[in-house]
Structure formats: structure tokens, C-alpha cells
């Protein structure tokens, strides 16, 4: 089945507001059609440059203008990053995501160091992701050449609510960065945060923006706000677990082939709550005691939870195997005279051979 991109806010709201058990069942059904329900991808998020960011994101303790307890530090060395990556690998992570508190990437020695970090982690047979702020097309290509697997750039919320969260960067700026990444073979990781005072309509609006991307993001992180003292959102109430499950389930239905990542806020969730999220379609988490600067469950706790739930850890580059099978299927389709509309890692090929009375043998 072709992936649907032209979702409306009303359609997504209708899914989000379904009776809870019905929503769970539908999401779990979609999940099992497209993914192994007992496999979860594990990533480690590493802050390679902390604090001092010139942006004014209302949720972020790394913004220089807010008075928080976050200790800033300059860019880590390549050897420090390698040591952290080895530690993450030994703990079961298949991916390292490196985050730097920059508004945008600037060409120069620091970016050169980041490129070397990407090359170094690649040699450890691990997937490498970066979240470095806004990115030009040329910078995206340089990251691709270094071996970057994924680039994270969250939309955060709906376009309508965005101005309530940040004023130093526009929504179009974020979409432009995602477009620059799409001009390479680097996969896209983009999601958002709930619990920032947004409405259900805003949550649906964010999913509309993500689902209309073609291809849809290979990974969509769903974060629950972790209020930090000193930020404008320090007084926000914690997100109810039911909202997290609904958001995960709706994301799974709207973007069936995407890996939905259960991200920030897991320290406030019970194991039972997280289990419901996995059942609803979440199949990726961040492991480690910190997500950049916010607390996160210890990796040993996660591994024990996986054991209790019968979940397996996804191997590094597992999606590459699927990419090869897609390329083979592309060749078969083209041999029959039907050119696929598009093809990206982790996505199936859109085609319409039935109208021609043709079939593609497995």
C-alpha cells in the first residue's frame, strides 16, 4: 500500500480522539504490518557541546539567556567522543546521536572535528546521528561523505503554535534544513515535544507537517516536556501517560513505516506506561542516564524492562538490509516498464502495476 501524505488536521484529530482501546488496537495492528513488534532500536544521545546557545527555545535549559544549573562546555575531543561511543555500544546501543548547542553549523575547525567524530564512530560499526542546528546543502553533503546515518532536526510543534515556543528561528528554517538533508542519502529524524501548553489541534498540526514530507521521516521522536527551572516553561504540568500513548499511537497510524522514538520524559513514566507505548507502535528509545541535559532511565533499567517485555535490541544498520531489498524490487519494477515514484531507506516503493495486469514476483 502506498504511504498517505495528504493528511488533514481533522483526519488526524479524529484518530487521536478515538476511544482509547480502539486507538491502541488500530495502532498495534498497523505496527505489526510494518515492523517486528518485539524489536526496539536503542540510541545514545551525547551532548558534544553544551550550553551557550543563542536561541530562545522556551523548553531548553541550554539557551544562554536563561538562568539554569546547566554547566556549559566547549566541543568535546574526538577521543572523548570515541570513548563514550564504545561505552554506549557495550551497553547495547546501535546508534550514537551527537548534539551540539548551536543555532546553525558554521564551517571551520569545529565542524571539521564533528566530521572526524562521525568517521570515528562509523569505524566502530555503529550508526551515527547528529543534531547541530540549521544546516546548508553543502554541509549536509559533507556529513554524508563522512558517513552520517541520520540527521535530527525537530519541528517541535505545529506551525501555528511555534511562535509561542521560539522566536529566533522560523518554522520554514526547520523545513529548509530537512530539505537540505533530503538532498543526500542521510536519513531524516524529526519529531516534537508535547506538554508545552499546546492544544490537541497543535499536536495534530505537527503530525500533518511531518506526514506531508515525502518521503516521511525515517524516525520521529515523541518527547514529553521535562520542565527545567529557569526556563519559561518551568511551571508546565507533566504530560499524562494517556496523552503520550495517544500521541505515539496516532504517529504510528499516520506514519506506518517510520520508527517512532519514545524520547524525553521516560523518567516520569512507569514500566506499564512505557509498555503501552511500545504496544502502540514505539520502536525506538534513547538509552543512558542523560538526554543532552535532561534525566533519563539508566540503561540497566531499560535492559531489564526489555527482558521482562520480551523485547530485542535492533542491530546497527538493520535498515540498510531493507534498503538493498528495496533496490532489488526497484530493478524488477523498472524491468517491467514502471518507474517508481520515489524510494528512500526504510520505505516501500509506490507502484501501480495491477492496472497493467502485471505482478512482481518475490
Q: Which residues are catalytic?
A: 53, 57, 60, 97, 129, 189, 261
Measured distance CA(31)–CA(257) in Å, rounded? 8
Q: What does the DSSP assignment read for 14-75?
A: HHHTS-HHHHHHHHHHHHHHHS-TTEEEEEEEEEEEBS-B----TT-TTBTTS--SPPPB-P
Torsion of Cα atoms, 46 then 50 then 51 then 55, to 10°: -60
Q: Is the distance from CB of 296 to CB of 93 less than 8 angstroms?
A: no
d(CA 214, CA 31): 20
Contact 248, 220 (CB under 8 A): no
CB 154 within 8 A of CB 192: yes
> Treating both helix axes as pointing N-terminal to C-terminal, what angle do 271-279 and 299-309 enclose, rounded to 10 degrees?
60
User: Pick from 38, 46, 39, 36: which is nearest to 89 by CA?
Assistant: 46
User: Grid coordinates in use for 274?
Assistant: 512505557
Cα–Cα distance measured from residue 252 to residue 281, given in angstroms and rounded to the nearest whole number: 6
**Category of 133 on φ-ψ map: left (φ > 0), alpha (ψ -120 to 50) or beta:** left
Beta strands (DSSP E) in 199-311 are 219-224, 259-262, 282-287, 290-291, 294-295
3-state SS, residue 254: helix
Amino acid at each position: 500500500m502506498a504511504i498517505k501524505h495528504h493528511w488533514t488536521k481533522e483526519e488526524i484529530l479524529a484518530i487521536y480522539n478515538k476511544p482509547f482501546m480502539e486507538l491502541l488496537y488500530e495502532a498495534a495492528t498497523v505496527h505489526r504490518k510494518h515492523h517486528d513488534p518485539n524489536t526496539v532500536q536503542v540510541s545514545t544521545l551525547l551532548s558534544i557541546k553544551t550550553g551557550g546557545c543563542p536561541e530562545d527555545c522556551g523548553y531548553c535549559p541550554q539557551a544562554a539567556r536563561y538562568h539554569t544549573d546547566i554547566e556549559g562546555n566547549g566541543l568535546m575531543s574526538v577521543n572523548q567522543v570515541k570513548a563514550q561511543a564504545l561505552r554506549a555500544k557495550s551497553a547495547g546501543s546501535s546508534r550514537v546521536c551527537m548534539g551540539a548547542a548551536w543555532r546553525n553549523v558554521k564551517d571551520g575547525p569545529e565542524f571539521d572535528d564533528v566530521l572526524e567524530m562521525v568517521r570515528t564512530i562509523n569505524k566502530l560499526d555503529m550508526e551515527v546521528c547528529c543534531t547541530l542546528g540549521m544546516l546548508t546543502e553543502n554541509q549536509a553533503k559533507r556529513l554524508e561523505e563522512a558517513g552520517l546515518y541520520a540527521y535530527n532536526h525537530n519541528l517541535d510543534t505545529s506551525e501555528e503554535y511555534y511562535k509561542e515556543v521560539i522566536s529566533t528561528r522560523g518554522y520554514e528554517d526547520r523545513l529548509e534544513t530537512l530539505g537540505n538533508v533530503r538532498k543526500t542519502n542521510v536519513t531524516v529524524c524529526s519529531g516534537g515535544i508535547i506538554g508545552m501548553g499546546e492544544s490537541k489541534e497543535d499536536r495534530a498540526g505537527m503530525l500533518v507537517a511531518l506526514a506531508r514530507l515525502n518521503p516521511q521521516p525515517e524516525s520521529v521522536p515523541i518527547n514529553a516536556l521535562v520542565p527545567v527551572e529557569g526556563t519559561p516553561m518551568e511551571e508546565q504540568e507533566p504530560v499524562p501517560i494517556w496523552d503520550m500513548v495517544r500521541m505515539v499511537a496516532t504517529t504510528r497510524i499516520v506514519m506506518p513505516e517510520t520508527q517512532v522514538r519514545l524520547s524525553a520524559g521516560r523518567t516520569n513514566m512507569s514500566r506499564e506506561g512505557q509498555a503501552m507505548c511500545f504496544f502502540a507502535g514505539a520502536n525506538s528509545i534513547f538509552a543512558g542516564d542523560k538526554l543532552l541535559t535532561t534525566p533519563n532511565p539508566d540503561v540497566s533499567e531499560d535492559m531489564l524492562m526489555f527482558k521482562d517485555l520480551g523485547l530485542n535490541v535492533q542491530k546497527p544498520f538493520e535498515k540498510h538490509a531493507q534498503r538493498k531489498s528495496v533496490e532489488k524490487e526497484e530493478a524488477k519494477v523498472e524491468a517491467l516498464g514502471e518507474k517508481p515514484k520515489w524510494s528512500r531507506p526504510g520505505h516501500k516503493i509506490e507502484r501501480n502495476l495491477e492496472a497493467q495486469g502485471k505482478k512482481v514476483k518475490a
